[in-house]
Amino acid sequence: MSRATRAFKVLISHPNVPAPALELLRSRGAETIICQSVPPSRDEILQKVPGVDAIYWAHYQPLNAGILDAAGSQLRCVSTMSSGIDFVDIPEFQKRGIPLGHTPGVVKNAVADLAIGLMIAAGRHFHAGRTEIERSQWKIEQINWMMGQEIRDSVIGFFGFGGISQAIAKRLQCWDVAKIIYHTRTRKENDGDFKAEHVSFEQLLQESDFLVVAAPLTNETREKFNGKAFDLMKRSSVFVNVARGGLVNQTDLHDALTTGTISAAGLDVTTPEPLPANSPLLKVPNCVILPHMGTQTMKTTIEMSLLAANNILNAIEGKPMIRPAY
Ligand SMILES: O=C(O)C(=O)CO
């Protein structure tokens, strides 16, 4: 056992946290108390959390005062196993001075791969094409059928230019794109590494052939992509969201897709999640929808799980978390 600490208790909110993360915690003195319900049950968490030293939050349900109160005043730290932390009441953590960690960075490659998949799937009408086969409407004899948007010679726009956007931009360096532009509050110093240009939000909307959303959900970004925004986009543009459904007004997106205001959308995230099977968005042929699986590769999931475990171990050992959330 390396750098053994006194025994401490960690509540693990989900039974499927990868074994390497559990083994790491145990090798450093943790007693792991693992919730067994899938999806996680708040009742089970509330029953098991009293008295723990740390909480390993491996799902997206609200993490707030109710959980912290139930844990008790001995609680020393919490880490989510996620990059996004929009479901966490951060002011409550700050008020109590409880260190909070999360797992950005390690998610970027898997999400970038999936984002490019969505750009192509939406831009080249994968879902509409499949639907036409099922409807026996295969019209290959029509030269202008299923015309899509190529990545080559396109302006690629990013809303947010953190790790995920930069991983996409890095991949696209050899795709012969016309230009890479992005909108963030302030210019990113390393944007030259990606030959990317900082632009206003309006310019991003007006110039992008593909507009990729990869930014946190905050009060400032909530429903940033609404009817007004879609109206400014090109009619041929492809909208991709790999961040959070809450950045988009989904009714307005539905209207923009069905009225031809924009050409297509590729979404890994929606509101709500899970998206109900009768959602009108699922009936829109020019919308490719995935069930929030951006990080669903074993490699990335293990990396996320180890980072969350190391956040906790650092805090327990009195060191700064590797990826503190505030
Ligand atoms: O890590 C996150 O926040 C995710 O949304 C994973 O897809």
The per-residue pLDDT for 80 is: 98
Ligand 1 center–CA 85 separation, angstroms: 9
Q: What percent of the chain is predicted at pLDDT more than 70?
A: 98
Nearest atom, ligand 1, residue 268 CA: 7
Ligand 1 center–CA 306 separation, angstroms: 15
Is the CATH number of domain 8-103+298-317 3.40.50.720? yes
Catalytic residue among 14, 127, 183, 292: 292
Q: If pLDDT is split at 50, 70 and 90, which confidence band does 2 have? A: very low
Domain residue ranges in the chain: 8-103+298-317, 107-289
Ligand 1 center–CA 38 separation, angstroms: 18
Rounded to two decimals, the pTM is 0.95
Query: Cβ < 6 Å from ligand 1: which residues?
Result: 82-84, 107, 292, 294-295
Mean pLDDT, the chain, whole residue set: 97
The per-residue pLDDT for 217 is: 97
Nearest atom, ligand 1, residue 296 CA: 7
Contact 242, 268 (CB under 8 A): yes
Asked if pLDDT for residue 239 goes beyond 60, the answer is: yes
Does 127 participate in catalysis according to the annotation? Answer: no
Ligand 1 center–CA 179 separation, angstroms: 27
Angle between the N-to-C axes of helices 126-134 and 108-123, in degrees from 0 to 180, rounded to the nearest 10: 50
Asked if pLDDT for residue 1 goes beyond 70, the answer is: no
216: nearest Cα among 68, 59, 88: 88
Q: If pLDDT is split at 50, 70 and 90, which confidence band does 4 have? A: very low
Beta strand residue intervals within the chain, DSSP E: 8-12, 30-34, 54-57, 77-80, 100-101, 155-159, 179-183, 196-198, 210-213, 238-241, 264-267, 287-289
Flag whether the ipTM exceeds 0.90.
yes
The per-residue pLDDT for 269 is: 98
**Beta pairing partners, 212:** 158, 240
**Which of 17, 59, 83, 307 to mutate for ligand 1's pocket (most ligand atoms within 8 Å of CB)?**
83
- Do 8-103+298-317 and 107-289 show the same overall fold? yes
The per-residue pLDDT for 199 is: 98
107-289 has which CATH code?
3.40.50.720
The per-residue pLDDT for 287 is: 98
Phi then psi dihedrals of residue 155, to 5 deg: -90, 120
Mean pLDDT along residues 136-163: 96
Q: Which tens digit of pLDDT belongs to each residue from 24-76?
A: 999 999 999 999 999 999 999 999 999 999 999 999 999 999 999 999 999 99
Contact 204, 211 (CB under 8 A): yes
The per-residue pLDDT for 5 is: 55
**Which of 61, 79, 82, 85 to mutate for ligand 1's pocket (most ligand atoms within 8 Å of CB)?**
82
Nearest atom, ligand 1, residue 244 CA: 5
Asked if pLDDT for residue 98 goes beyond 50, the answer is: yes
What is residue 31's three-state secondary structure? strand
Nearest atom, ligand 1, residue 85 CA: 3
